[in-house]
Structure 1
Amino acid sequence: MPHDGHHSHDVPPNGWKHTGVRVIPGNSLDPNTAQTPGMNRAAAINAARAGAQKIWAGTVDIHAGAKTGAHHHGALESVIYVVSGKARMRWGEKLEFVAEAGPGDFIFVPPYVPHQEINASDAETLSCVLVRSDNESVVVNLDIEPVEKPEGVLWVDPIHKA
């Protein structure tokens, strides 16, 4: 059967007007979400605000010179997109690994990985967009004694190995 771009069985009885595309204004984000010391998270897309079933999205701001407490996000995958500023990520059982990211860079955090976000600038706020693989924000704050000098890790593309 040819695909005509229309799935009548999927259309709500009253059409897509209020259940189709949503625009969530940037000035209406909800700070009432799970927090970690040192950062400000705000939800844009979740079940309550947009009816999202499988993803959560919002913003994260980390003040100049600040760093977060160590935490992980349970079974959730996270993607962080750096809008402005300089991010330093530490991760591992003792936060022994480190990498930096700047504007335009994406950061992927797998499930259960202990990590810490650091604003590597003393002058500029670090602003990021955050997307997670479930409609509820899960944050498990950890009490970790970090190693003093973490080991730098460069990105290696698994598809195009050097």
Structure 2
Amino acid sequence: MTDTHHDNHSDYWKHNGVRVIKGDQLDSNTPQTPGMFRQAAINHARVGAQKIWAGTVAIEPNAKTGVHHHGALESVIFVIRGRARMRWGDRLEYVAEAGPGDFIFVPPYVPHQEINADPDNILECVLVRSDNEAVVVNITDVDPIEEPEAVYWIDPIHRRPE
């Protein structure tokens, strides 16, 4: 007995199956922020992705984004090198830091700001978003209740930075 699906589509998987995107072949034709360099690895234009975007970002020392959210998208940031500081909340009243090997999850609609917490070294991360569209909603009227670095989110897995 033969597998007619496989026989009729032997070249289909060759051209539409697994793709390897080499690290030196990332696409820098992405929205950029001063002090940050983003490159796409996986998106619709490059590989036909329908429901995910993945790439890298290199953030200069002390660089930070403006306050924003990504609409209905979920985002994951994996820190490769350096120290990331995330501020979030209606008034950026919460702060957490992440280092190499740490993951950061940003739920939909959460107002946040990404910061390179190291004044001397570049922060390198991998980004993954739950959709192919680059949704960024800038928020310009945030009035923090206090300097966010002084208010830490502390729970069993997050400790105050030393």
Instruction: Report TM bin, short chain.
Output: 0.7 to 0.9
Of residues 57, 78, 81 in structure 2, which corresponds to 1:81?
A: 78
The count of corresponding residues between Structure 1 and Structure 2 is 151
Higher helix residue share: 2
Q: How much has 1:85 moved relative to structure 2?
A: 0.1
- Given that 1:36 and 1:71 are in contact with CA atoms closer than 8 Å, whether structure 2 keeps it comes out as no
| CA-to-aligned-CA distance 1:13-57 (integer Å, 9 cap, x gap) | 623111111111112212222334442221110011011111100
| Residue 20 (structure 1) aligned with residue 17 (structure 2) | yes
TM-score scaled by length of structure 2: 0.84
1:44 is matched by which residue type in structure 2? A
1:128 aligns to 2:132 (yes or no):
no
- Asked if 2 retains the 8 angstrom alpha-carbon contact of 1:33 and 1:42, the reply is yes
- Runs of at least 5 residues in structure 2 that lack an aligned partner in the other structure: 158-162
TM-score when normalising by structure 1: 0.84
Please say if residues 41 and 54 of structure 2, whose CA atoms lie closer than 8 Å, have aligned partners that are also in contact: yes
| Partner secondary structure for residue 18 of structure 1 | helix
Aligned partner of 1:153: which letter? W
Secondary structure of 1:49's partner?
A: helix
Shift in Å, 1:118: 0.8
| SS state at 1:61 partner | strand
- Of the three residues 102, 116, 119, the one matched with 1:119 is 116
Distance 1:90 1:114 in 2: 8
Identity in percent: 66
Residues in 2 aligned to 1:14 and 1:39: alpha-carbon distance in whole angstroms: 40
Please tell me the root mean square deviation across aligned C-alpha atoms, in Å: 2.1
Closer, same or farther: CA 77–12 of 1 in aligned 2, 3 Å: farther
Distance in 2 separating the partners of 1:72 and 1:15: 38
- Separation of aligned partners in 2, 1:55 and 1:152: 31
Match of 1:106 among 103, 116, 122: 103
